[in-house]
């Protein structure tokens, strides 16, 4: 049985990985773990992960005033995400977790969850409403100035 301190450390790595703050580790076992995490996470779980990341980021003082996530909602999202992480690490990808940690070190957990977070975020940004709003940025940019800055203006 794993000691509580090690459990907390692994959970912290997973959380950090999902938020993208762990440097990526390139190795075959890390790659296998990343693939397993993505393959083993359903669409509903990816949406849960995206909501949790949004709720966490919404705590930042620069954006807190434009978010209406309540503490109860945030706690529920955190609980749901913890269940997903636990299922992935202990059940769905257990073999890949063990091999990645054994051969490439425990940081592979964080870097593999970073990949999962990126996949979930990509799905968020591919939503037509989100993509259309992101494209609106171009309406407000002076394309001539940008071209001049890039040295392409004649």
Length of the chain: 154
Helices (H) and strands (E) in the chain, counts: 8, 0
Nearest to 96 by CA among 45, 42, 31, 46: 31
The domain limits of the chain are 4-127
pLDDT in tens, 53-92: 999 999 999 999 999 999 999 999 999 999 999 999 999 9
H or E, element range at 115: helix 107-125
**DSSP letter (8 states) at residue 128:** H
Sign of CA dihedral 21, 14, 41, 92: positive
Q: DSSP letter at 60?
A: S
Q: For the chain, what percent of residues have pLDDT higher than 90?
A: 58
Q: What is the pLDDT along the chain (154 residues), one digit of tens a residue?
A: 555 445 544 554 555 555 555 555 469 999 999 999 999 999 999 999 999 999 999 999 999 999 999 999 999 999 999 999 999 999 999 999 999 999 999 989 999 999 999 998 888 888 899 888 988 888 899 989 988 899 865 5
């Amino acid at each position: 049985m794993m000691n509580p301190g090690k459990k907390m450390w692994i959970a912290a790595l997973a959380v950090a990985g999902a938020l993208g703050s762990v440097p990526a580790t390139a190795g075959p076992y890390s790659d296998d773990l990343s693939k397993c995490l993505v393959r083993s996470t359903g669409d509903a779980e990816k949406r849960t992960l995206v909501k949790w990341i949004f709720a966490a980021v919404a705590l930042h003082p620069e954006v807190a005033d434009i978010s209406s996530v309540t503490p109860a909602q945030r706690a529920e999202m955190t609980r749901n995400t913890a269940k997903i992480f636990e299922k992935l690490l202990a059940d769905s990808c257990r073999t890949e977790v063990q091999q990645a940690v054994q051969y490439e070190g425990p940081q592979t957990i964080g870097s593999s969850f970073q990949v999962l977070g990126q996949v979930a975020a990509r799905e968020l940004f591919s939503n037509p409403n989100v993509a259309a709003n992101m494209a609106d940025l171009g309406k407000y940019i002076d394309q001539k100035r940008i071209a001049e800055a890039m040295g392409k203006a004649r």
